[in-house]
Structure 1
Amino acid sequence: MNKTKTIAGILLMTVVMACNSKQEKLMIDVYETSAAGNKLQKVEVSESGTTDLEITIKPEEKYQEIIGFGGSFTESSAYLLNQLSNKNRKLIIDAYFGEEGAKYSLTRTHINSCDFSLSNYSYAPVEGDKELKHFSIDEDRDDIIPMIKEAMAVSKDGFKIMSSPWTAPVWMKDNKDWKGGKLLSEYYDTWALFFSKYINEYKKEGIDIWGLTVENEPLGNGYNWESMHFTPEEMVDFVSKHLGPKLKADGHDVKVLGYDQNRDELKEWADIMYKDEESSKYFDGMAIHWYASTFDYMPEALQYTHAKAPSKLMIQSEACVDAEVPHWNDDAWYWKKEATDWGWDWAPEEQKHLHPKYVPVYRYARDIIGCLNNWVQGWVDWNMVLDTQGGPNWANNWCLAPVIVDPKKDEVYFTPMYYTLAHFSKYIRPGAIRIGFESNNDDLMVTAAQNPDGSIAVVVLNMKEEAKQLKLTMAGKESAFKIDAQALQTIVIHQDK
């Protein structure tokens, strides 16, 4: 045997194997936000000899299409932007909608006033104006409309807007009050016309409304701020006989979402809204909130609702850490188990377990991942900007927001919540398809989606107090890297050209 040829052959095989090994690496970029201080920071992918966890991505397993992620244009947020310097106003708008920012793709705003308004108001203030001859959106021209237009100007891909009423004008209601009460049946057609006029008036401003929810929190809010009550049957009646036909007759191509409240009563609403073709034909889907529990994302209710009507949308239309005054320039607080919600103090004893103290960053990341993995197609935060008190809010219903400002000092604080949301909104784009994965360990929460451009975004949440060595595999390729303790990562897998 020719030893020289044998050695040469072995060397050649080693080189080939080494080359093949390089070709088998996944092409990835990793971005991390962590309690240690990373803020959507691109981190180095470094090999390690040990692996704590393995995640296998399965692009062949396809689930729901993603509509988008974002936050809400409230009068409070828009008013605060008006108090800031042009520089800081632009900083915030760019951070939410610009190419270098979070690239929000799905947003919400309110029809008439809500608790995050400066006062109570309606676009139809004249009592008995059934034809809405005095309808006007002038209340929005100083704040909400300019904020939306500035966002549109910097958003390269654009974004969708959902609009939600908290209440009809008081003269249309049985109790003649902003809080509670029901829409009088004699005004069902007028209220349907109200939606149509709202869409038209915003269109005149160059703003298209993508979707409507019929009523924010139709079960009420304890008469604390603007509300109007519907039973599921009443909402179906209003939509099927009044709102749906009116929108169709007026040529509005707009999504109509029902319910718009907490997941704990979702099944009952799904049963009635999706009872048959007649009840469901004008509903494009369901809007949901998380306030029944910001800890339990209630996968059974989400799975049930999807199974009831697989072709209908399911959108998380509102979430925030409520009943809290923001902590200013204190990143560490947002990673600590100190925050509470309304239920910590006020929930009935049998529901206390649904409202534990919880890390704010985890509330958001955990809920978004849980929602995505159970058929939800969009996730919308509440206020984009609040002040150091958690307002302004005429009902003193203080909350957190991803961006906090001190208008008197013209200062801006991007909380860790901003970066948490950006992990999803920036890298999982509209039209993405959620895809399957397998994990050999429950220590991490994971979701994955394939974007229209072919890239795959994998979001991983590590709530443990120690870093983990992670191996990601897909289609025979792999990459190994570390996720820090108490960290959120988005791994972008670039497909071969």
Structure 2
Amino acid sequence: MKTYNPLLYVLLLMAIMSCNDKNNALEVTIFETSANGNKLKEIEPAVKAENASSIKILPEEEFQTITGFGGSFTESSAYLLNQVSKENRDKVIEAYFGESGAKYSLTRTHMNSCDFSLGHYSYAPVADDMDLEHFSIQEDKDDIIPMIKDAMAVSQDGFKIISSPWTAPIWMKDNKEWEGGKLLSKYNDTWALFFSKYIDAYKEEGIDIWGFTVENEPLGNDNNWESMLFSPEEMTNFVQNHLGPKLEADNHDVKILGYDQNREVLDKWVDVMYRDEASSKYFSGVAVHWYASTFDYFPEALQYAHNKAPNKHIIQSEACVDAEVPKWNDDKWYWSKEATDWGYTWAPDDQKHLHPKYAPVNRYARDIIGCLNNWVDGWVDWNMVLDTQGGPNWAENWCVAPVIVDPAKDEVYFTPIYYTLSHFSKYIRPEAKRIGIEVSDKELMATAAKNVDGSIAVVIFNEGPEEKFINLALEGREVSIKIDGQAIQTVLIGATQS
């Protein structure tokens, strides 16, 4: 007769439970950037805690296809990289485009000059050159083009480029000025030809242009720097009857993005752009900026644009925060609510709530997650590199870039904004599908995407000062995570990256 051994029974039961726990455990790799000093630091999962928040990933719910994330090639950024040592130039290029860096996949540059240029210039300086026989991108060959080529050399997967004009040559405009004014209708076809020649000129340099925005900030910028005004009707007419047909006739397979300014009036633009099949034919989507508020990401406006044209792009094409010299190299400032939005001082009373004192990192993390969760498929930052004042900028419009350089000292500083952007660009890759996610804690923001290799990236932002414990679940498997206060994490499932 066999004897029952209680101790052996308990040990067997514990072994079975341990085996089941392992089978149900979700294997993840976690990277964190936080106010306490972590910068894309790999951290271990946590011990399961009571009263933890929950995040559930829903891969069966699929939304938009991701185009990419990145920043902008400006003359200012490229000029500065020409001023530092080759070692530091290579370091910055690798940090943005290399496998060890942020792996930027979507970028932007300017056609003709902008405020982040060293001065005014146009590729077509000769007045009434209707056939643009004197068109030349020579101005870009000392700085922007070499920077793009260096980026191409280290980018394993490549990246897309969106090009944007701030203004047509002044001889095409009614006011004959760099700032403000409108395109004269007699130059519609010449201005359309300008875009086509730009594509050809860059292709001769070995650089493909993926897309255009028709005009940077068509509502203007109070005539502070290069600009040209369009109404929704005027831009739609130009694209429908001039730009679209010209690019098609010249066999240019390129995206055309309309609007390209702040989100709060996006509905008025898409109503005109997409009013019928003829008006929407040549538009691939819309581009938007965040300057109406770096706090409110205007989800209703983004949803409206998506519902109006579900198969077209919504791309955030520009964002930055204003510089506060000499705080450019103070990590704590980037996590501090003492940093001000430029609208903080001048916004009218009914708009002050849109421009609070708000930490720069919070603005980026909150906006990118909010955009992704409301159908935006690409998110592009402004200057990749600026100096310690926030320039060079001929209009003295000082801003912050994710990477700051001091050419005089040959120093490079990677701000917390750089690492915040990397949480998205490095781990959510082009052609990924945003997927469903349920978050129990209203103090957390999160988004999730499934990459083409099957891996899933979950980005979580904890704005508050207290650490939080999270139970992250996917299809019956679970892992416990601890996220620091004032921190952003990327949790990778099904892939290991460093």
TM-score, structure 1 as length reference: 0.98
Larger deviation, residues 471-480 vs 51-60? 51-60
Q: Could you say which residue in structure 2 is the equivalent of 1:363? A: 363
**For 1:28-427, what aligned pairs fall within 5 Å after superposition?**
28-322=28-322, 324-325=324-325, 327-427=327-427
Distance change in 2, residues 1:409/1:7 (3 Å): closer
Is there any run of 5+ residues in structure 1 with no aligned partner, and where? none
Distance across 1 between alignment mates of 2:437 and 2:269: 31
Q: Are 1:325 and 1:399, in contact at CA under 8 Å, matched by a contact in 2?
A: no
Q: Are 1:105 and 1:160, in contact at CA under 8 Å, matched by a contact in 2?
A: yes
Q: Are 1:32 and 1:38, in contact at CA under 8 Å, matched by a contact in 2?
A: yes
1:470 positional shift: 1.1
1:443 positional shift: 1.2
Q: Which secondary structure state, in structure 1, belongs to the residue aligned with residue 291 of structure 2? A: coil
Q: Which secondary structure state, in structure 2, belongs to the residue aligned with residue 328 of structure 1? A: helix
Q: Are 2:328 and 2:400, in contact at CA under 8 Å, matched by a contact in 1?
A: no
1:351 positional shift: 1.2
Q: Are 1:270 and 1:308, in contact at CA under 8 Å, matched by a contact in 2?
A: yes
Distance change in 2, residues 1:225/1:439 (3 Å): same
Distance change in 2, residues 1:264/1:238 (3 Å): same
| CA RMSD, Structure 1 to Structure 2 (Å) | 1.4
1:244-303 deviations in Å (ceiling 9; x for gaps): 000000000100000000001101001111111111000000000000011100000001
Q: Could you say which residue in structure 2 is the equivalent of 1:483? A: 483
Q: Which secondary structure state, in structure 2, belongs to the residue aligned with residue 4 of structure 1? A: coil
Distance across 2 between alignment mates of 1:280 and 1:339: 41
1:23-70 deviations in Å (ceiling 9; x for gaps): 111110000000000000001213143242110111111000000000
Q: Which secondary structure state, in structure 2, belongs to the residue aligned with residue 339 of structure 1? A: coil
1:439 positional shift: 1.4
Distance across 1 between alignment mates of 2:204 and 2:484: 49
1:62-87 deviations in Å (ceiling 9; x for gaps): 00000000000000000000000000
Q: Which secondary structure state, in structure 2, belongs to the residue aligned with residue 242 of structure 1? A: helix
1:295-341 deviations in Å (ceiling 9; x for gaps): 10000000111001001100000000036446232101111002222
Is there any run of 5+ residues in structure 2 with no aligned partner, and where? none
Larger deviation, residues 135-144 vs 324-333? 324-333
Give, as a single letter, the amino acid of the residue that structure 1 aligns with 2:174.
Answer: D
Q: Which secondary structure state, in structure 1, belongs to the residue aligned with residue 125 of structure 2? A: coil
Q: Are 2:406 and 2:412, in contact at CA under 8 Å, matched by a contact in 1?
A: yes
Distance across 2 between alignment mates of 1:114 and 1:423: 29
TM-score, structure 2 as length reference: 0.98
Larger deviation, residues 126-135 vs 9-18? 9-18
Distance across 2 between alignment mates of 1:326 and 1:460: 30
Q: Are 2:93 and 2:150, in contact at CA under 8 Å, matched by a contact in 1?
A: yes
Distance change in 2, residues 1:149/1:307 (3 Å): same
Distance across 2 between alignment mates of 1:46 and 1:219: 50
Give, as a single letter, the amino acid of the residue that structure 1 aligns with 2:333.
Answer: W
Distance across 1 between alignment mates of 2:228 and 2:70: 26
Give, as a single letter, the amino acid of the residue that structure 2 aligns with 1:462.
Answer: N
Q: Which secondary structure state, in structure 1, belongs to the residue aligned with residue 115 of structure 2? A: coil
1:349 positional shift: 2.1
Distance across 1 between alignment mates of 2:350 and 2:332: 32
Q: Are 1:192 and 1:242, in contact at CA under 8 Å, matched by a contact in 2?
A: yes
Give, as a single letter, the amino acid of the residue that structure 1 aligns with 2:101.
Answer: G
1:345 positional shift: 1.9
1:495 positional shift: 6.9
Give, as a single letter, the amino acid of the residue that structure 2 aligns with 1:56.
Answer: K
Distance across 1 between alignment mates of 2:214 and 2:272: 15
Distance across 1 between alignment mates of 2:137 and 2:111: 9
Aligned residues: 496
1:20 positional shift: 1.8
1:173 positional shift: 0.2
Q: Percent of pairs identical after alignment? A: 70
Distance across 1 between alignment mates of 2:59 and 2:80: 43
